[in-house]
Structure 1
Amino acid sequence: MRNGIKRGAILAGLVLVLAGCAGQMRFPVSQEAQDALADQNINVVRITTDNIGQYRTPNYRSNRAKATNPPGNPSPYTYRVGPGDELRVMVWSDPERTQAAGTGGSDTERGIIVNEQGQFFYPFVGAVRASGRSTSQIRADLTDQLRNFISDPQVEVSVLRFNAHQATVTGVVGAPGPVTITNVPQRLLDVLNKAGMTADGDLSNVLVRRKGAAHNVNLKAFIDHGDTRQNPIILPGDVVNVPPMRDNKIFTFGEIATQEIALETDVPVSLTEVLAEVGGIDRIRADSRGIFVFRRTPMTPEGFDVFQFNLHSATALVLATDFKMAPLDIVFVTNDPITRWNDTVGALVTPLTGLLQVRSIVDSN
């Protein structure tokens, strides 16, 4: 019985010792130790005054971002009249005399409404097909038919009120709902500006559904870099969805407060601002040579880049201020060697004290 208690106490002590030794998170600080990481596709970049210009602004594409296939633009853009549109049709028979539907009073205000069959009535001509046609096509048709009644008729056709065509905006916008399509082409940015863009919407993954096909559009690429393909013209029946921003955050670990920090869509945040927001590094436990930013980039699809800052030098504070964060960055502050030694000794001493207490109990039995 006594031997069983002894073996159980010793085993429990060993478990405690191993648990204490394995509880530390760290990343190598020295160049020699970091060289061995290349085989794991881990690229360590020591940020200095010589290379900060290359890494100041992240060349970042989220690994969750979808490949884009923006819809094509009609050339030229032409508005097609539809049921519900109100037209102004004006006909001049000579310079001094006008015949028109909608030339004065309430007729001008009301206009001619295209009915559900896509037609409207015009005196002497009768039913005129309007749906699916441009105002130029309607004008040419009316001009041709009115020649039977008017010598050299001069005809003008325009849309007084646009009611026939809409697109729909959904998702993370200020005012989701229908958007009226007019004879003035509206691009994706125009439509979303009217709906009200928010910081919570992911402009890099806007979905445009058109005639049963789904198109992923990176509107942020147009805003940031002028990629016109990513700002398509919105057509009648399009459904535009702005998804919530899921990747626009960074994380902090190690000898620093563990936090998840949301990033503003259009406001770059520097490493210095991140460190200040979480209260700075632990000045007793942290190794100021080992301030790391872990980032997965298109250049390291199976690994990641690690940017190292040595805050032993005051110059590094300026470098950290110039260094802008990218979505899903991980800021890690490693612990000081003395801290690791103290933690290890503490982990050993605590279970050893427990073993001595167990031994005294065993010996007393």
Structure 2
Amino acid sequence: MDRLPSFSVLLLVSALGLSGCGLTYVSPLVRDEADDGVAVVDMTGESVPLANRAPYAPRELPDAFAQVAGGGSPRGLGALPDEPDFPDLEPGELELRVPPPATPGPYRIGVGDVIQLATRATPTETLDSVVTGEVAGQEVRQDYTVRDDGTVSVPQVGAVQVGGLTVEDAEQRLFEQFIEAGLDPNFSLEISGFNSQTITVGGAVGTPTALPVTLNLPSLDEALTAAGGVQGTTPEYASIRIYRDGTLYQIPYESYRQRGDLRGVQLLPGDAVFVDTSYDLERAQDYYAQQIQAAGLSRQARTAALTELSTEIGLRRAALEEARDVFRARAELGEETRDYVYLAGEVATQGRYPLPYGRRATLADALYDSGGGFDTETGNPSQIYVLRASADPATTEPVTAWHLDARNAANLILATQFEMRPNDIVFIEEQPITRWNRAFQQFFPSLISTAQSAVE
């Protein structure tokens, strides 16, 4: 029983002795004292913009991450029409983009057109003439369809190239062929079926259609009327778009209704007209793409071209993926230069936070993107610091400690505004009770050991 008071005394004496010997717990703190090279600045709505003025340009990902594998055109079949130039449109700002004045040339015969020859029947009686009742000198009309190679096959004359010719030029070509074959060159030629060229009209019209191009080209108003007229429009949002030779033109519907010159815009073969009432540019683009595909190549040639194009795109995609994989591998091995922010003190996980590519990160990103913020049991919310080295230590303190007091959780808004810079250190001090507890945990075993040695 007499030894208990003596043991208590020994504990007290040992504690005082250990303290006197300098055996005390030391924890890192941020202090703003004379000649310590640290300037503590409180984070406020006024000081945060000042901190964000520090120059910094985020690193960018390699170009391979910004490229796509699309593009190109089938080889050996001629390039497809260029992609339309789509204007950047917003509601309420419809821009008037009128196609340039066009003077259509004479109609040129194309594949699929039907030409009609009117000739005089020969005096030779045949079985056909007996059946049909034809007599010598009677006018005979016969239709001929222009084949894929641009020719028509005329009996006793053979194949005659008429594709790409005007009606007058085709008559001259046939006249020469008739003379060479020793036939009567008295004939007339006209086009009875227009199938080679179209003007398509779609969107908000009564009946979307493909209008055949004839000897007389329609105006914009005539084409829309032939398609059933514009349906269900809201003038302030509606527009008429014309795709021609890789360029997209636009006429606001309200302007179209008010101006006769816009209704009389001359359309050309191959034009695609789309009436849009909802600013749906993607829908319009899909429509134009369908028209390009339908008019561009024959089915077999188009399939082969698209297959080749798909192969080319696949090779490009593989090359891009390889470049991206190489970059990722180098980054994992530490071979790529990267900017970091370091987390220390009472954070959830001490380590480094890589600053993102292409954008700026904030204090909130560094705390909560990297693994869970800070430990609220041991971390002191009133002592959160961002330590930043001075750009010019000769004129200012070498280190600026930007101090965030988060005892009021509303101040965490400042953390979402404070921008991080490379090599910043985020430091959170420990709670006072945590410091005392850790000191006691380290000191108490030594005290017991010293006391026991004294008693023994």
- Same fold by TM (over 0.5)? no
The structure carrying a bigger strand percent of its residues is: 1
TM-score, normalised to structure 2's length? Answer: 0.34
TM-score, normalised to structure 1's length? Answer: 0.42
